[in-house]
Structure 1
Amino acid sequence: MKEQSLETIEFELAVLVRHITSIASNKKNWTLDRSAYLLLHQIFAHGSAGVKALADEFRLDISTVSRQAAALEQKGYVCRIPDPLDGRAFSFQITDLGKKELVENKQERLARVTDKLQDWSDEECQRFGQLLRKFNRTFK
């Protein structure tokens, strides 16, 4: 890999994080922070999950995910489902209210992304999505 390309990627990632942080701190219509959005999205897309599975998915420690999931449970966005084989274990399942909040937040996020990419071609958007997915998968 060429050093200049890597320097460009490194710098542009830093700029991207700055922009996303700025947007996130100015989120008037979002009721879910990033961690809540990602946890709800994971549970919605893949079904109920325990704290350990969620922690493994996001490469976080169990106490962090447990705290985040408890906050979602307190808001009524997820509920606990007991494990039929192990009475001590449980999984989190998304509630109807959680689905509603997730869909509303996703629509707002999509609107912002759509606005930023309005001058991009379909091919550019598709390629960018593919490359971003590929990059994100390198962290697993």
Structure 2
Amino acid sequence: MDEQSLETIELEMAVLYRRITTATASGKYGNLDRSAYLLLHRIGAHGAVGVKSLAEEYQLDISTVSRQTAALEQKGYVRRIPDPADRRAFFLEITELGAKEYAVYKQGRLTRIRELLADWAEDETETFAALLQKFNHALLSSNS
């Protein structure tokens, strides 16, 4: 592996993380932070889920996910429903308000990304998407 390429990737990832954090913290795209966005995406796309499963999926402590989902519940973005297999436990499902907030936030992010990539060729965006997905999968696999 080329050392210069690795150094460039390392630096550009740090810059990317900082710029995304700054851009999304402005509230310009809606009222969601990164954790809320990801949790609402997961619950909205795949259905009701328990806190333990979310913690495992995102490789976080249960206490962290519990705090994050409690904040979503307090805002009315998710609600608890009984776990049919274990009446002592519960699942979280997205509410209409949560789905709406998620959609607004996602659309804002998509609009901004579309603007940033407007002068890229279609094959470049497809390659970037595939490589970014591959990198994220490698990150997930390395932490399992």
Same fold (TM over 0.5): yes
Partners of 1:114 and 1:63 in 2: CA distance: 36
Shift of 1:70: 0.7
Q: Deviations over 1:29-51 (max 9, x none)?
A: 41111100000000111111100
5+ residue gaps, structure 1, are none
8 A Cα contact 2:29 2:109, kept in partner: no
1:77 corresponding residue in structure 2: 77
Partners of 2:119 and 2:7 in 1: CA distance: 26
1:59 corresponding residue in structure 2: 59
Percent identity over the alignment is 61
RMSD: 1.0
Partners of 1:89 and 1:135 in 2: CA distance: 35
1:126 corresponding residue in structure 2: 126
Matched residues, number: 140
Q: Deviations over 1:35-90 (max 9, x none)?
A: 00000000111111100110111111000000100111111111111012211111
Runs (4+) off by over 4 Å: none
2:26 corresponding residue in structure 1: 26
1:105 corresponding residue in structure 2: 105
2:36 corresponding residue in structure 1: 36
Q: Aligned to 1:90, what secondary structure does the other structure show?
A: strand
Name the amino acid aligned to 2:21.
T
More deviation, 17-26/29-38: 17-26
Counterpart check, 1:14 vs 2:14? yes
